[in-house]
């Protein structure tokens, strides 16, 4: 599985322990790492190929040996970052039998928000580009579809076990929750005044998931209700 460090995205096709990275691998990774850092402060639409090549220490012609366009660079970064988000979300999809839903959803919400903050500048660019780049839009829709499918399967299992509430079809409910999260986290990445305040994000997201699927609040909310 590809990994993503805080310094940038790793190539998904270089398997650690199977072969040493070639000069070409290192050059491609330099382009990805350079773009990752440049995008912290500069939108991709205003960056040129020369900017990306120079940051990687390469010529413009060398850049085109690895990527056809700057949008393809963004495309290449998205996969490993999505792996990070999926890993952070795993407790939503595959909760251990001895873990209650509140603990699982609260932990997953905290981890997703942490990962989103780490890679938010890239995910912001994806959100900005999907309307104009069909290949990127298709990839993003496919990746979100995997999240929705996994969440729907978890809702179905919990309903069958008598843990989750009855309600809309599992996939419809999962889609509503996933798109709600994607839009709100996207607004946070854009530093929109309409975004959920950063300090309230984890509690808000966990509360929406728990009350919608299980009919309960977070553990802190329940403790407060008991105390009163």
Closest Cα to residue 118, out of 206, 200, 40?
40
Question: Which residue matches tokens 């079809």?
Answer: 169
Ordered alpha helix ranges (H), 39-169: 49-55, 60-66, 70-88, 90-93, 101-129, 134-160
Q: What is the pLDDT of residue 139?
A: 86
Q: What is the pLDDT of residue 14?
A: 41
Determine whether 109 is exposed, middle or buried from the number of CB atoms within 10 Å of its CB (0-12, 13-18, 19+): buried
Q: What is the pLDDT of residue 3?
A: 39
Which pairs with CB-CB distance under 8 Å and at least 24 residues apart come from 84-91?
84/3, 84/4, 84/115, 84/118, 84/119, 85/112, 85/115, 85/116, 85/119, 85/147, 86/146, 86/147, 86/150, 88/112, 88/114, 88/115, 89/147, 89/150
Query: Which distant-in-sequence residues (6+ apart) come within 8 Å of 222 by Cβ?
Result: 102, 216
CB 171 within 8 A of CB 149: yes
Closest Cα to residue 34, out of 12, 58, 13?
58
CB 93 within 8 A of CB 154: yes
Q: What is the pLDDT of residue 134?
A: 87
Q: Which residues of the chain have pLDDT under 70?
A: 1-19, 21, 225-228
Q: What is the pLDDT of residue 8?
A: 56
- Could you give the CA distance from residue 183 to residue 191 in angstroms, rounded to a whole number? 12
Q: What is the pLDDT of residue 22?
A: 82
Q: What is the pLDDT of residue 30?
A: 96
Q: What is the pLDDT of residue 225?
A: 66
CB 83 within 8 A of CB 1: yes
- DSSP, collapsed to helix, strand or coil, labels residue 171 as helix
Q: What is the pLDDT of residue 216?
A: 95
């Amino acid at each position: 599985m590809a990994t993503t460090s805080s310094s940038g995205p790793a190539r998904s096709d270089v398997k650690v322990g199977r072969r040493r990275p070639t000069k070409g691998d290192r050059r491609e990774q330099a382009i990805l790492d350079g773009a990752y850092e440049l995008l912290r402060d500069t939108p991709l639409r205003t960056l040129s190929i020369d900017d990306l090549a120079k940051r990687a220490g390469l010529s413009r012609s060398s850049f085109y040996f690895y990527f056809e366009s700057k949008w393809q660079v963004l495309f290449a970064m998205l996969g490993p970052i999505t792996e990070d988000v999926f890993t952070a979300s795993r407790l939503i999809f595959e909760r251990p039998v001895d873990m209650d839903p509140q603990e699982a959803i609260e932990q997953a919400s905290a981890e997703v928000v942490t990962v989103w903050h780490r890679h938010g500048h890239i995910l912001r660019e994806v959100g900005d580009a999907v309307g104009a780049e069909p290949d990127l839009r298709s990839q993003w829709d496919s990746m979100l579809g995997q999240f929705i499918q996994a969440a729907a399967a978890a809702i179905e299992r919990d309903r069958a076990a008598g843990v989750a509430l009855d309600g809309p079809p599992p996939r419809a409910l999962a889609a509503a929750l996933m798109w709600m999260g994607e839009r709100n986290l996207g607004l946070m990445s854009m530093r929109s005044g309409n975004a959920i305040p950063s300090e309230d994000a984890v509690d808000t997201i966990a509360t929406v998931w728990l009350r919608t699927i299980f009919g309960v609040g977070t553990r802190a909310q329940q403790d407060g209700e008991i105390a009163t």
